[in-house]
Amino acid sequence: MIETNDYKNSSKQMDLLDPLKESSVQSIPNKDSFSSRDVPEMLLILDTETTGLNPIEHKCLELGVVLFNVENRAILSQQSFLLPVETNEAERINRIPAEITRLEQPWKKGLEYFEHLLQCSDVVVAHNAAFDRQWFGNGLLPEISQPWLCTMEDISWPKDKALSSRPSVRDLALAYEVPVWNAHRALTDCSYIAEVFRRCDDLEALLLKGLEPRKLVRAEVSYDERHLAKAAGFRWNDPVRGAWTRRLSDSQILELDFSVVCIEIGEQNED
Protein backbone atom coordinates (compact mmCIF):
# COMPACT_ATOMS: atom_id res chain seq x y z
CA MET A 1 0.00 0.00 0.00
CA ILE A 2 1.26 3.48 -0.88
CA GLU A 3 0.57 5.79 2.06
CA THR A 4 -0.77 9.27 1.31
CA ASN A 5 2.18 10.67 3.24
CA ASP A 6 4.49 9.16 0.62
CA TYR A 7 2.68 10.52 -2.40
CA LYS A 8 0.38 13.37 -3.14
CA ASN A 9 -3.29 12.50 -2.75
CA SER A 10 -4.58 11.26 -6.08
CA SER A 11 -8.31 11.33 -5.34
CA LYS A 12 -10.60 12.79 -7.99
CA GLN A 13 -11.71 16.26 -6.98
CA MET A 14 -14.99 17.89 -7.84
CA ASP A 15 -15.56 21.61 -8.03
CA LEU A 16 -18.32 23.14 -5.94
CA LEU A 17 -19.50 24.85 -9.09
CA ASP A 18 -20.58 21.44 -10.39
CA PRO A 19 -24.23 20.54 -9.78
CA LEU A 20 -24.76 19.11 -6.29
CA LYS A 21 -27.59 18.84 -3.88
CA GLU A 22 -27.57 19.07 -0.12
CA SER A 23 -29.67 16.64 1.84
CA SER A 24 -29.93 15.42 5.40
CA VAL A 25 -31.88 12.28 4.49
CA GLN A 26 -30.35 10.16 1.77
CA SER A 27 -27.53 7.81 2.71
CA ILE A 28 -25.02 6.54 0.18
CA PRO A 29 -24.31 2.87 0.97
CA ASN A 30 -20.73 1.75 0.45
CA LYS A 31 -20.96 -1.84 1.61
CA ASP A 32 -22.66 -3.41 -1.41
CA SER A 33 -25.02 -6.24 -0.38
CA PHE A 34 -23.73 -6.90 3.14
CA SER A 35 -26.35 -6.84 5.89
CA SER A 36 -25.26 -4.86 8.93
CA ARG A 37 -27.34 -7.20 11.10
CA ASP A 38 -24.90 -10.07 10.51
CA VAL A 39 -21.40 -10.21 11.91
CA PRO A 40 -19.04 -11.38 9.15
CA GLU A 41 -17.46 -14.74 9.87
CA MET A 42 -14.47 -14.64 7.52
CA LEU A 43 -12.40 -11.58 6.69
CA LEU A 44 -9.89 -11.36 3.87
CA ILE A 45 -7.36 -8.74 4.90
CA LEU A 46 -5.39 -7.54 1.90
CA ASP A 47 -2.80 -5.01 0.83
CA THR A 48 -1.17 -4.12 -2.45
CA GLU A 49 2.16 -2.71 -3.49
CA THR A 50 2.03 -0.82 -6.77
CA THR A 51 4.32 0.91 -9.23
CA GLY A 52 2.50 4.22 -8.71
CA LEU A 53 -0.83 5.80 -7.85
CA ASN A 54 -2.77 5.66 -11.11
CA PRO A 55 -4.28 2.23 -11.97
CA ILE A 56 -4.49 3.27 -15.61
CA GLU A 57 -0.80 4.13 -15.91
CA HIS A 58 0.65 1.89 -13.20
CA LYS A 59 0.39 -1.73 -12.07
CA CYS A 60 0.10 -3.81 -8.94
CA LEU A 61 3.36 -5.68 -8.37
CA GLU A 62 2.63 -7.41 -5.06
CA LEU A 63 -0.44 -8.76 -3.31
CA GLY A 64 -0.58 -9.85 0.33
CA VAL A 65 -3.59 -11.40 2.05
CA VAL A 66 -4.56 -12.91 5.40
CA LEU A 67 -7.71 -15.01 5.85
CA PHE A 68 -9.03 -14.24 9.33
CA ASN A 69 -11.78 -15.95 11.32
CA VAL A 70 -13.67 -13.47 13.51
CA GLU A 71 -15.20 -15.79 16.12
CA ASN A 72 -11.92 -17.52 16.95
CA ARG A 73 -9.71 -14.45 16.36
CA ALA A 74 -7.56 -16.76 14.24
CA ILE A 75 -5.40 -16.46 11.14
CA LEU A 76 -6.33 -19.33 8.83
CA SER A 77 -4.13 -18.59 5.85
CA GLN A 78 -1.51 -16.12 4.66
CA GLN A 79 -0.31 -15.41 1.14
CA SER A 80 2.01 -12.99 -0.59
CA PHE A 81 3.40 -13.02 -4.11
CA LEU A 82 4.91 -10.72 -6.71
CA LEU A 83 3.40 -9.91 -10.09
CA PRO A 84 5.70 -9.20 -13.06
CA VAL A 85 6.22 -5.57 -14.09
CA GLU A 86 8.66 -3.83 -16.41
CA THR A 87 9.34 -0.79 -14.23
CA ASN A 88 8.61 0.36 -10.68
CA GLU A 89 8.42 4.09 -10.12
CA ALA A 90 7.63 3.48 -6.45
CA GLU A 91 10.76 1.41 -5.72
CA ARG A 92 12.02 3.99 -3.23
CA ILE A 93 8.87 3.34 -1.19
CA ASN A 94 8.29 -0.41 -1.46
CA ARG A 95 11.92 -1.36 -2.23
CA ILE A 96 10.91 -3.94 -4.81
CA PRO A 97 13.14 -3.80 -7.91
CA ALA A 98 11.18 -4.46 -11.09
CA GLU A 99 13.68 -7.10 -12.23
CA ILE A 100 12.96 -9.18 -9.11
CA THR A 101 9.28 -9.40 -10.07
CA ARG A 102 10.24 -11.00 -13.38
CA LEU A 103 12.15 -13.91 -11.85
CA GLU A 104 10.47 -17.23 -12.55
CA GLN A 105 7.92 -18.12 -9.87
CA PRO A 106 4.33 -19.49 -9.89
CA TRP A 107 2.49 -16.16 -9.65
CA LYS A 108 -0.42 -17.48 -11.74
CA LYS A 109 -0.96 -20.23 -9.17
CA GLY A 110 -0.81 -17.52 -6.53
CA LEU A 111 -3.66 -15.69 -8.24
CA GLU A 112 -5.69 -18.90 -8.37
CA TYR A 113 -5.22 -19.47 -4.65
CA PHE A 114 -6.14 -15.86 -3.94
CA GLU A 115 -9.45 -16.36 -5.75
CA HIS A 116 -10.16 -19.42 -3.58
CA LEU A 117 -9.52 -17.37 -0.45
CA LEU A 118 -11.75 -14.63 -1.82
CA GLN A 119 -14.59 -17.07 -2.41
CA CYS A 120 -14.72 -18.13 1.24
CA SER A 121 -14.55 -14.58 2.66
CA ASP A 122 -17.51 -12.43 3.71
CA VAL A 123 -15.79 -9.05 3.80
CA VAL A 124 -12.57 -7.69 2.31
CA VAL A 125 -10.56 -5.52 4.71
CA ALA A 126 -7.84 -3.02 3.80
CA HIS A 127 -6.18 0.04 5.28
CA ASN A 128 -7.03 2.87 2.88
CA ALA A 129 -9.38 0.58 0.98
CA ALA A 130 -10.24 3.29 -1.56
CA PHE A 131 -6.69 2.98 -2.87
CA ASP A 132 -6.43 -0.82 -2.87
CA ARG A 133 -9.81 -1.62 -4.39
CA GLN A 134 -9.15 0.34 -7.60
CA TRP A 135 -6.52 -2.23 -8.68
CA PHE A 136 -8.99 -5.14 -8.77
CA GLY A 137 -10.81 -5.89 -11.98
CA ASN A 138 -7.95 -4.04 -13.63
CA GLY A 139 -4.96 -5.81 -15.18
CA LEU A 140 -4.08 -9.17 -13.62
CA LEU A 141 -6.16 -8.88 -10.44
CA PRO A 142 -9.73 -10.23 -10.47
CA GLU A 143 -12.83 -8.21 -9.65
CA ILE A 144 -14.05 -8.33 -6.06
CA SER A 145 -17.78 -8.52 -5.36
CA GLN A 146 -17.55 -8.74 -1.56
CA PRO A 147 -18.13 -5.61 0.53
CA TRP A 148 -15.05 -3.67 1.60
CA LEU A 149 -14.19 -2.41 5.07
CA CYS A 150 -11.51 0.25 5.56
CA THR A 151 -9.59 0.15 8.86
CA MET A 152 -8.50 3.75 8.30
CA GLU A 153 -11.85 5.35 7.38
CA ASP A 154 -14.68 3.05 8.46
CA ILE A 155 -13.78 1.80 11.93
CA SER A 156 -14.14 4.11 14.91
CA TRP A 157 -11.34 2.86 17.15
CA PRO A 158 -11.80 3.09 20.95
CA LYS A 159 -11.04 6.52 22.35
CA ASP A 160 -8.71 5.08 24.99
CA LYS A 161 -6.30 4.14 22.17
CA ALA A 162 -5.72 7.86 21.54
CA LEU A 163 -5.62 7.38 17.78
CA SER A 164 -6.25 10.04 15.17
CA SER A 165 -9.48 9.86 13.18
CA ARG A 166 -7.54 8.39 10.23
CA PRO A 167 -4.67 6.46 11.85
CA SER A 168 -1.72 4.99 9.97
CA VAL A 169 -1.19 1.23 10.08
CA ARG A 170 1.88 1.77 12.22
CA ASP A 171 0.06 3.92 14.79
CA LEU A 172 -2.83 1.44 14.88
CA ALA A 173 -0.45 -1.47 15.53
CA LEU A 174 1.42 0.38 18.26
CA ALA A 175 -1.84 1.38 19.96
CA TYR A 176 -2.64 -2.33 20.34
CA GLU A 177 0.93 -3.19 21.38
CA VAL A 178 1.70 -5.01 18.14
CA PRO A 179 5.45 -4.94 17.41
CA VAL A 180 6.31 -3.06 14.21
CA TRP A 181 9.32 -3.32 11.95
CA ASN A 182 10.68 -1.33 9.05
CA ALA A 183 9.30 -3.22 6.08
CA HIS A 184 7.04 -1.74 3.41
CA ARG A 185 5.66 -4.95 1.91
CA ALA A 186 2.10 -6.07 1.32
CA LEU A 187 1.92 -8.93 3.82
CA THR A 188 3.43 -6.78 6.58
CA ASP A 189 0.44 -4.44 6.82
CA CYS A 190 -1.97 -7.41 6.61
CA SER A 191 -0.20 -9.01 9.57
CA TYR A 192 -0.45 -5.79 11.58
CA ILE A 193 -4.21 -5.56 11.03
CA ALA A 194 -4.74 -9.25 11.82
CA GLU A 195 -2.82 -8.87 15.08
CA VAL A 196 -4.86 -5.80 15.98
CA PHE A 197 -8.07 -7.76 15.35
CA ARG A 198 -6.80 -10.61 17.54
CA ARG A 199 -6.47 -8.13 20.40
CA CYS A 200 -9.95 -6.59 19.98
CA ASP A 201 -12.43 -7.89 22.57
CA ASP A 202 -15.13 -5.79 20.89
CA LEU A 203 -14.21 -6.74 17.31
CA GLU A 204 -17.75 -7.78 16.34
CA ALA A 205 -19.15 -4.41 17.39
CA LEU A 206 -16.38 -2.52 15.59
CA LEU A 207 -17.04 -4.49 12.39
CA LEU A 208 -20.80 -3.96 12.47
CA LYS A 209 -20.41 -0.25 13.08
CA GLY A 210 -17.78 -0.03 10.36
CA LEU A 211 -20.09 -1.72 7.87
CA GLU A 212 -22.93 0.76 8.37
CA PRO A 213 -23.97 2.72 5.23
CA ARG A 214 -22.20 6.03 4.78
CA LYS A 215 -22.97 9.35 3.18
CA LEU A 216 -20.70 12.14 2.02
CA VAL A 217 -21.13 15.10 4.37
CA ARG A 218 -19.74 18.63 4.52
CA ALA A 219 -18.65 20.16 7.80
CA GLU A 220 -20.45 23.38 8.70
CA VAL A 221 -17.45 25.11 10.29
CA SER A 222 -16.01 28.58 10.03
CA TYR A 223 -12.40 29.32 9.16
CA ASP A 224 -11.57 29.63 12.85
CA GLU A 225 -13.24 26.26 13.50
CA ARG A 226 -11.51 24.38 10.70
CA HIS A 227 -9.35 22.52 13.22
CA LEU A 228 -12.48 20.73 14.42
CA ALA A 229 -13.14 19.28 10.98
CA LYS A 230 -9.51 18.32 10.50
CA ALA A 231 -9.38 16.58 13.87
CA ALA A 232 -12.52 14.63 12.93
CA GLY A 233 -10.86 13.28 9.79
CA PHE A 234 -12.51 15.61 7.28
CA ARG A 235 -10.45 16.48 4.20
CA TRP A 236 -10.16 19.89 2.60
CA ASN A 237 -10.70 19.97 -1.18
CA ASP A 238 -11.11 16.17 -1.35
CA PRO A 239 -13.35 15.15 -2.99
CA VAL A 240 -15.17 18.51 -3.07
CA ARG A 241 -13.23 21.71 -3.68
CA GLY A 242 -13.63 24.46 -1.12
CA ALA A 243 -15.12 22.23 1.58
CA TRP A 244 -14.23 19.94 4.48
CA THR A 245 -15.84 16.59 3.66
CA ARG A 246 -15.88 12.99 4.81
CA ARG A 247 -18.03 9.91 4.35
CA LEU A 248 -19.70 9.04 7.66
CA SER A 249 -22.44 6.80 9.03
CA ASP A 250 -25.38 8.23 10.94
CA SER A 251 -23.92 7.03 14.24
CA GLN A 252 -20.61 8.74 13.48
CA ILE A 253 -22.40 11.99 12.63
CA LEU A 254 -24.10 11.98 16.02
CA GLU A 255 -20.68 11.92 17.70
CA LEU A 256 -19.46 15.10 15.98
CA ASP A 257 -19.05 18.43 17.80
CA PHE A 258 -20.32 20.43 14.81
CA SER A 259 -23.10 20.32 12.25
CA VAL A 260 -22.85 18.72 8.82
CA VAL A 261 -24.94 18.62 5.66
CA CYS A 262 -25.21 15.65 3.34
CA ILE A 263 -23.87 16.21 -0.17
CA GLU A 264 -25.31 14.27 -3.08
CA ILE A 265 -23.09 14.40 -6.18
CA GLY A 266 -24.76 12.43 -8.91
CA GLU A 267 -23.94 8.76 -8.63
CA GLN A 268 -21.34 8.39 -5.89
CA ASN A 269 -18.07 6.94 -7.10
CA GLU A 270 -16.33 5.21 -4.17
CA ASP A 271 -13.06 4.64 -5.92
52-60, long-range: CB within 8 Å, 24+ apart, which pairs? Answer: 52/2, 52/89, 52/90, 53/2, 53/7, 53/10, 53/131, 54/10, 55/134, 55/135, 55/138, 55/139, 58/89, 58/90, 59/83, 59/85, 59/139, 59/140, 60/135, 60/139, 60/140, 60/141
pLDDT at res. 265: 59
Low-confidence ranges of the chain (pLDDT < 50): 4-36, 266-271
* Rounded distance between C-alpha atoms, residue 243 and residue 104, angstroms: 49
- Report the relative pairing of strands 42-50 and 123-126 from DSSP bridges: parallel
Using DSSP bridges, classify how beta strands 74-82 and 60-69 pair: parallel, antiparallel or unpaired: antiparallel
pLDDT of residue 136: 98
Say if CB 39 and CB 70 are below 8 A apart. Answer: yes
Q: What is the pLDDT of residue 10?
A: 39
What pLDDT score was predicted for residue 38? Answer: 85
Position 37 scores a pLDDT of: 61
pLDDT of 183: 72
The end-to-end CA distance of the chain, in Å, is: 15
* pLDDT for the residue 99: 98
User: In DSSP terms, which residues pair with 44 in a beta bridge?
Assistant: 67, 124
Q: Report yes or no on whether pTM surpasses 0.95.
A: no
Is 43 in contact with 268 (CB distance < 8 Å)?
Answer: no
* Structure confidence at residue 2 (pLDDT): 54
